[in-house]
Chain A
Amino acid sequence: MKTIIRKRVLKAGIAVVGLSSLAVAVSAHAQQTLNIVSWGGAYSMSQHEAYDKPWMEKTGDEIVNIDRSGNALAGLRAQSQAGNVTWDLVDMLPADAMIACAEGLIEPLDHDELLADAPDGTPPSEDFVDGALGDCFVASIVYSNIVAFNSDMFPEDDQPSTIEDVFDLENYPGKRALLRKPINNMEWALIADGVDREEVYAMLETEEGVQRAFDKLDTIKDEVIWWEEGAQPPQLLADQEVAFASAYNGRIFNAMVTEDQPFEIIWDAQVFELDGWVVPTGKLDKVKDYLHFATDTQRLADQAQYISYGPARLSSSELVSTHAETGMEMTPHMPTHEPNFATALQKDDLFWADYNDELTQRFNAWLSR
């Protein structure tokens, strides 16, 4: 802290006026360093621009970004077992948050007390979308798992448009890149096989349903390249290593607008879910001001200038404007935009909390055959 103050002093020069005003600012808010864990890449960048920069400017806090959300649950457990929790705020998926909450690794949150009201006074519990506020969790975005394709690899008059096309090797040949996990793939396999999307999860609880999903995946297995990091699908598509790739919609959007890639998103059967903040046990006092700030209506709307993830607050949706770099209208690229949302499926966290272990083992066994 000392060095920060000293730097400030230097910047302010020797003017006494500058010094005294600085002293006031410092005493109002003790400057601190916040270790914030997130997903890295374009997503962390959007958080940095929308939340961190204004926050640092306002308070003088330092924010250290750690790209560990992919293994956040393991990290929290390890830190808690070692008795030395260094993370102050963690961005994670609601399914992981449920587990962490049950293990007492993260703080229960009283949303209406901790979070900001909407500009019109609506309390947070009514302003956030369904499922956004968990016992220990507050969502910031709605994102979506979609399949995208490289439009250069198909004739202009016959571009794929539905999830069935992804499983149709005859009419749409080429490699597919899919996430190396059962999540999303099982759902898409069943939907492509003609199962109604309302019945997908009920079906996956039965042996026949799981077998049916694997049978469907078998039809494309030889043409699949499995990815594990969110940055891989846009890269594979850009290199034309694959024709289709499942991906997080924001990454594809980012490649489309900032790198001018000829990608198209198949919104059909998008599997959307939420993503947001949890507070490691014992850190609530330290981060509650930041959390209050970073989840308010304006901040969530601002984030949408940088990445095409929908804000988790209803009051933010109206404020979503244009892309910060290109000035492109953001609304049509949002997962929650009406035409995109027509056949969307919400990921069932409870189902995956129960069956992820078993299905992942089965999935891995299936892969290695």
Chain B
Amino acid sequence: MSESPAAPLRTADGVPLKVSLRRTVRRSKIKALLLVAPLLIFLFIAFLMPLFEMLWRSVDNPEVSTHLSRTVSALEGWNGESLPDEAAFAALAEDLREGQQERNLGLLSSRLNYEKSGMRSTISRTARRVDTLEPPYRASLIEVNDTWGELDTWKLIQREASPYTISYYLAAVDLQLSPDGEIVKVPEHMRIHATLFWRTLWMSAVITGLTLLLGYPVAFLLASLPARHSNLLMILVLLPFWTSLLVRTTTWIAILQSQGVLNDVMVALGLIADEARWQMIHNKLGTIIAMTHILLPFMILPLYSVMKTIPPSYMRAARSLGGKPFLSFRRVYFPLTIPGIAAGGILVFILSIGYYITPALVGGQSGRFITNYIAYHMQTSLNWGLAAAIASILLFVVIICYLVFNRLIGVDKVKLG
């Protein structure tokens, strides 16, 4: 039964219905777009642009090529086996003279100092005496500072002349380029970032596990108690959630420190000796306790929203079919809560690998996260390239976690509330 192609349907004013429909749809699409436009623009400016800026900074390497441009071109074709010729030294003297006049050698010397300690003062001392330099520049420069007579210095300048660098990424995982350009591990006593990445990951996993262990029964109670009681319980869950993060963190300090409430009580009860107070804060334990507490609502709420949708009759059915309580729980209830566990788990895990304030306050030395080093390189060492590289790696880790999670459980199954 097929319709024969007749004349197209038209609206009352004679426009073909198809066209008219398309117009209406387009209009409503534009309206929708205008409605979300503020958010899109906001996301673009506040989220995407900084993200690209960060990725850009982690490989950007303009210092040597801009501030030592003459030297760099004089070094073209240099084989690196013996000191470069007089032309390169003369070019260096000229570059430094110009840099000193325009006062822009600072970033250059910081950049080279990251790769070779001592370059900062080598450059600043040479620049200060740049007026005393005279041909032959080779002898003159080496007399001012003998670092210029080292082959490695020149290899470094030649290597860092490229506008992009991977040194920041290498430094972020405790590797470096040797003077000959090979990738080698940094000396043992300088290794720190790889350990911290690893620690951040495993401690976040532990925190996620603990929030699940503590949060699951609470979420179950919330979902199964009568409304009168569960509302009260919900307020108890949410109350700390509304309290400032700093307040909650410092409260843990007051409770756990060696002269703190918990130790005082245990000493008063005679459980531990006054001299043998427990060190529960400013270490890994402190970070784990405080972060578990702070992140607990992020586990309970998704769990609760999933459990709320599981009809109690399922469990009753399982019991009436002869299942013992534990078996019915394991075979019927638990599998139904997996989307909630997954949602809470990924939420808590991703939040905790990016956590910063709490580990900084209660982590002491051993309980610090890699994020604290991002802050350190942003604010104190001012090595923004390295901070960007570490942050980018952290971003990749989160993306990988997300992909693995999606493969295993499926993001579409997640319920966040």
Contacts and interface: CB of A to CB of B under 8 A. Distances in A.
B117 A104 contact: no
Interface string B351-368: 000000000000011101
A210 to B, nearest CB: 9
B383 A357 contact: yes
B257 A364 contact: no
A361 B106 contact: no
A74 B382 contact: yes
A364 B364 CA distance: 12
A358 B117 contact: yes
A77 B117 contact: no
Interface string B85-126: 000000000000000001111110110011001111100100
Contact of A226 (B102, B117, B189, B365): B365
Contact of A98 (B124, B196, B378): B124
A364 B368 CA distance: 11
B195 interface: yes
A73 interface: yes
Contact of A241 (B103, B257, B366): B257
B259 interface: yes
A68 B333 CA distance: 54
Contact of B124 (A226, A353, A358, A367): A353
B106 A99 contact: yes
A207 B166 CA distance: 27
Nearest to B187: A362
B381 interface: yes
Contacts of B124: 98, 102, 353
A34 to B, nearest CB: 24
Interface string B213-257: 000000000000000000000000000000000000000000001
B105 A102 contact: yes
Interface string A100-122: 11111100100000000000000
B414 interface: no
Nearest to B368: A368
B142 to A, nearest CB: 19
A69 B382 CA distance: 14
B243 to A, nearest CB: 23
B323 to A, nearest CB: 50
Contact of A102 (B106, B119, B366): B106
Interface string A43-84: 000000000000000000000000000010110010000000
Interface residues of A, number: 34
A74 B379 contact: yes
Nearest to B114: A357
Contacts of A240: 259
A74 B120 contact: no
A73 B106 CA distance: 12
B117 A355 contact: yes
Choose among B121, B195, B196 the residue with the greatest number of A CB atoms under 10 Å from its CB: B121
B140 interface: no
A184 B11 CA distance: 86
Contacts of B107: 103
A276 B232 CA distance: 57
A360 interface: yes
B192 interface: yes
A99 B106 CA distance: 6
Contact of A362 (B189, B282, B373): B189
If over half of A's interface residues share one DSSP class (helix, strand or loop), that class is named, otherwise mixed; here it is helix
B191 interface: yes
Contacts of B259: 239-241
A88 B59 CA distance: 33
A104 B102 contact: yes
A353 B121 contact: yes
A104 B192 contact: no
B382 A101 contact: no
Contacts, number: 78
Nearest to B372: A364
Nearest to A136: B103
Given A102-B109, A241-B258, A241-B259, A360 B117 contact: no
A102 B103 contact: yes
B249 to A, nearest CB: 15
A139 B183 CA distance: 44
A101 B189 CA distance: 32
Contacts of B1: none
Nearest to A226: B365
Given A365-B189, A365-B190, A368-B365, A71 B120 contact: no
Contacts of A239: 259
A136 B179 CA distance: 35
Nearest to B199: A368
B320 to A, nearest CB: 57
B192 A357 contact: no
B380 interface: yes
Given A241-B259, A353-B120, A367-B365, A361 B113 contact: no
Contacts of B118: 354-355
A156 B124 CA distance: 51
A206 to B, nearest CB: 12
B226 to A, nearest CB: 47
Choose among A225, A356, A366, A368 the residue with the greatest number of B CB atoms under 10 Å from its CB: A368
B194 to A, nearest CB: 10
A350 interface: yes
Contacts of B109: 102
Interface string A234-272: 000001110000000000000000000000000000000
A104 B189 contact: no
Contacts of A71: 379-380
Given A71-B380, A100-B106, A354-B119, 12 more contacts: A99-B110, A102-B124, A104-B103, A108-B103, A240-B259, A354-B118, A357-B113, A365-B190, A365-B191, A368-B192, A368-B365, A368-B366
Interface of A: 71, 73-74, 77, 98-105, 108, 214, 225-226, 239-241, 350, 353-358, 360-362, 364-368
Top 9 nearest A-B pairs (CB, nearest first) are: A103-B106, A102-B106, A104-B103, A365-B192, A358-B117, A354-B121, A367-B365, A71-B379, A354-B118
26 contacts: A71-B379, A74-B379, A102-B105, A102-B106, A103-B103, A103-B106, A103-B107, A104-B103, A226-B365, A241-B257, A241-B258, A241-B259, A354-B113, A354-B120, A354-B121, A355-B117, A357-B113, A358-B117, A361-B192, A365-B189, A365-B190, A365-B192, A366-B189, A367-B365, A368-B366, A368-B368
